[in-house]
Every structure is written in C-alpha cells, then in structure tokens.
Structure 1
Amino acid sequence: MLKLVVLISGGGSNLRALLEAAQSDEYPARVVAIGADREADGFEHAEAFGIPTFSVPFTSFPDRESWGDEVLAQIRQWQPDLVVLSGFMRLFPRQVVDALSPHMINTHPAYLPEFPGAHGVRDALAAGASQTGASVIVVDNGVDSGPILAQERIPVLPGDTEDTLHDRVKVVERRLLIGTIHDIATGAIDLTEKTTA
C-alpha cells in the first residue's frame, strides 16, 4: 500500500477526489497526512476523512530555505512513499526537491510543456489556443519542467472563460492523478526509470 502525503494551498478538489478513491479497498494507496503552506479550506476534507494535517505558513519563516526545511521535516515524520502536490502554489527550494524527487508529483492545468507556471488556463485562453490539457509530472527544480507521467488534451470551446475551462480541466486532472498514483503503486509507472531515462 502506497503511503501518500498530499500538499495543498486552497480548496482541495483534487484532494477530495483522491480521498474518495482511496476509500476503496481495491485502491492501492492511502493518504496518511495533508499539509499546506497556509490555513487552507481543503483541510475540511481532511477532517471529513479523519486524516491528520499540518500547516507550515511561509510568512512564519525568514526565508524560503528555512521554510522548506520545516516542510521537509513535517513530511518526513509521516514516512510517505510519495508526496503529491495538489493545488500547492508555492515553489520549493532546491533542498526539498532534491530530498524528495522523483517521489514527488504534481498536477498542472495544461498540456505541458505548453503553458507552464501559475496561470496555465489563463495563458491558454490568452494565446487563443484551440486546445489545452492536463498533465501529471514529477517535480523537479524547474517550473513545471519535470518528466511527464500522464497527460490528456482538452478542447477550448467557443465562449470559454477561465472558470469554465478550468472546471473542465479539473475533471481530467483528478482522473489523471488518481490513475497515475494507482500506476505508481502497482509498478506500472517506475518513477526512478522515468527520471533516469
């Protein structure tokens, strides 16, 4: 059984879908703790499912490195097999990525390498793209530049706003995330192989 620590910054809709999937005895992963860089609304899901939480506010530390050290210490207490960034909006300092990669994955609301960064959906609309997508990647020290584990195209529809497009992207993101974690847990995806190929 794969042990997961999930990190969030907001409402945690992907987290909720993952927690629901993990309720099944047939799903080969379990969330052991949920962390955030602020008091996140998504902690409500943790409470509903009886999952422990931790918060490491960025503003409580003098710099990114000391904040990162504390996040890493909190994660390591749970001895996870995989760390999942699910709407976690803050970049980690190098020492955190080096300590956890390749066993740290992230979802992104675009078909990478298209539209990396914090505003993938907005950027796709601004570019007049006819399609965008969702991706699941290994976290590296770049911005959404790690090895791609899964991705899927999503059409941009006439009249789409950032909200309507993002809502459709999220549906695919959740499915890809749940499927990717399943494949990591069962050995269908070898993270070490993905990062050394």
Structure 2
Amino acid sequence: MGGLNDNHPNPALCRVVVLISGNGSNLQAMLDLADKPYDIVAVLSNKDGVYGLQRAADAGVSTHVIPHTQYPDRETFDQAMIQVIDQYQPDLIVLAGFMRILSSAFVQHYQGRLINIHPSLLPKYKGTKTHQRALEAGDKEHGVSVHFVTEELDGGPVVRQAVVDILPGDDADTLAARVAGEEHKIYPEVVSWFALKRLKLSDSGVLLDGTPLSAEGVRSKA
C-alpha cells in the first residue's frame, strides 16, 4: 500500500494507474514491456485476493482494494476510487479487466485519459460473452479493441484493433486464448503511444501523431 510520496524510479515518465478485477494478465503485459515509456504507479481492484494484485506486488507497485460491495451505489464507489487514484496524480487510467460499469462522473473526471480493452471488434458485441456470441453468429473473424472510455458502455472511439481468424472447431475458450494473446501485444503498445504523447482524444476523434484515425483505429491481422 502506498500514496503520493512513494519513490518511483522514473518520476518523469507517464504515470499510469491500472484498474483490475481479476487475473491481471494485461497488467502483466504492461509491466513486462521492455523500455516502457510509462510508470505504473498503482493498481486498484474492486475484489480482494485476485491474482492481479499479486502481480502488482511482485513488481513493487502499490495496490489498493476498494470493494464495490461496501458502497450503496455506483456513484459513491466511483468517488471512493477517485479519491485514491488522484493521490497518484495519474496521466492515464487503464482499465484491464475491470468488471464494473463506471458512472458518468468518473468518466468525465478522467476524460481523454481513460482507456479500456474489450474482447471484440467494436462496435460488435459490446458487453459480455463476446467470444461465444461471435461463434454463434457464424463470424469468420473476431478480435480485440482498445478504446477511449466514454459514457456509452464499450462505445468510446477505437484506437487499436487486432483481428484473429475463427478456426474450424473453435470454442469460446480456444478463441478467447488467441484473442488474449493479441491483447497482450496491443495494450502495452497503446499505453506507450499515449505515454509518448503520440495519442490524443480530441473533439473530432482520436489522433495518432496528429492524424485522425478511422472508426476501427489502427487495425492489424494476427
């Protein structure tokens, strides 16, 4: 546990706070990136005992548990998170498997510096069970999207997408595993773009190196 006075090794780097609810595999991918231009200064979870907290602790990152069940409503919970997060003076808030819908006040507080990763090719399959839904729809392709967070659930402008083929015999688990492999590549990449001031959310949409991105963002095929 820690706070504002923690001594971080690279104080000039982009300060990142990561929100998790579980395993934290995307957090691990961000921690493992070589020569990263960002410093993960804190990890918050709404659940105690999840493996992502251990990953953070092993990396020497401050952790906080704020159980959402202890608050009467979403707004009160989100205000409690804001009070902790703002101690760290973050430049970017990263949602990495954070399984809570955020209030408008929280989203507005971090407008333009709040990103999420979602396991589908948005705008398809917002919400949960995305892999099963893609299979049931008979899709040939599936994937993952990194996007800025707005007040619309999974509806903010897309920065980056990675596409995977749906193979004969795939089930939700095999498809999820391949999508996760792409998540671990593209999420640290997008965080790095933001940290290097290459990425910005403007009134007209997402800009990368000053150039507007299309609705699907930067897209690659696995």
- Please tell me the TM-score bracket, short chain as reference: over 0.9
Bigger mean CA offset, 151-160 vs 79-88: 151-160
Which ranges in structure 1 are unaligned for 5 or more consecutive residues?
none
2:47 maps to 1:35? no
Match of 1:46 among 49, 56, 69: 56
- Code of the aligned partner of 1:7: L
Measure the CA separation in 1 of the matches of 2:78 and 2:197. 29
Rg larger for: 2
Structure 2 matches for 1:2-17, cutoff 5 A? 2-17=14-29
Contact 1:184 1:191 in 2 (8 A): no
Measure the CA separation in 2 of the matches of 1:86 and 1:97. 15
Alignment match, 2:4: none
- Root-mean-square deviation (CA, aligned residues, Å) is 1.4
Which ranges in structure 2 are unaligned for 5 or more consecutive residues?
1-12, 213-222
Contact 2:159 2:206 in 1 (8 A): no
How far the C-alpha of 1:141 sits from its partner, in A, is: 0.7
Measure the CA separation in 2 of the matches of 1:162 and 1:73. 38
Instruction: Answer 1 or 2: which has greater strand percent.
Output: 2
Alignment match, 2:80: 70
Measure the CA separation in 2 of the matches of 1:6 and 1:159. 35
How far the C-alpha of 1:192 sits from its partner, in A, is: 3.3
Q: Report the 3-state secondary structure (helix = DSSP H, G, I; strand = E; otherwise coil) of the residue aligned with 2:117.
A: strand
How far the C-alpha of 1:47 sits from its partner, in A, is: 1.3
Alignment match, 1:153: 163
Measure the CA separation in 2 of the matches of 1:95 and 1:184. 22
Instruction: Answer 1 or 2: which has greater helix percent.
Output: 1
Q: Deviations over 1:149-177 (max 9, x none)?
A: 11121111111111111111011111111
- Normalised TM-score (structure 2): 0.84
Runs of 4+ in 1 over 3 A off after TM superposition: 192-197
Match of 2:190 among 168, 180, 194: 180
Contact 2:14 2:37 in 1 (8 A): yes
Q: Deviations over 1:95-116 (max 9, x none)?
A: 1001012100000111111111
- Code of the aligned partner of 2:100: R
